[in-house]
Amino acid sequence: MVWGLTPTPERGLTSLILVPSVPCPCLVWGLTKHNKFVILRALMPHNKKTLRKKGIVLETLPDTLFRVKLEDGTTILAHLAGKLRMYHIRVLPGDKVTVEMSPYDKARGRIVYRGK
């Protein structure tokens, strides 16, 4: 692998950023003014192992927990995602939601979208 130099200072770095000539999907390296290597960005691929399913909220529980009935008929326990909490999105019983679930625990999930 051959490295090329690109003159774009970033985040207070005064030296050049090293960019591989062959695309590296995960890391972008740089040099500080003391010629030490640092990682500028870690470009991690999206985790494609999560499952997204649609459902309807059955009941509201304490601590932003909800009981959700999915389209396939299963009932799971789901919590509200951080962005929905941050923007104070209200989720009420009867709302259509999209739930993101881990393939390891099919009984729990995270509400990532509230439909209309």
Q: Are residues 67 and 99 in the same domain?
A: yes
Q: Are residues 29 and 67 in the same domain?
A: no
Residues spanned by the domain of 30: 3-42
Per-residue model confidence as pLDDT tens digits over 49-107: 889 999 999 999 999 999 999 999 999 999 999 999 999 999 999 999 999 998 889 99
Give CB contacts under 8 A, 24+ apart, made by 61-70. Answer: 66/91, 66/97, 66/111, 68/97, 68/99, 68/109, 68/111, 70/99
Domain count, the chain: 2
Q: Are residues 97 and 61 in the same domain?
A: yes
Q: Are residues 58 and 98 in the same domain?
A: yes
What pLDDT, on a 0 to 100 scale, did the predictor assign at position 39? 61
pLDDT band at 14 (very low <50, low <70, confident <90, very high): very low
Q: Are residues 103 and 61 in the same domain?
A: yes
CA angle 58/61/65 to nearest 5° reads 90
Q: Are residues 100 and 59 in the same domain?
A: yes
Q: Are residues 61 and 17 in the same domain?
A: no
pTM, rounded to two decimals: 0.60
Q: Are residues 60 and 33 in the same domain?
A: no
Residue type present at position 37? F
Q: Are residues 38 and 56 in the same domain?
A: no
pLDDT band at 115 (very low <50, low <70, confident <90, very high): very high
What pLDDT, on a 0 to 100 scale, did the predictor assign at position 15? 44
pLDDT band at 42 (very low <50, low <70, confident <90, very high): low
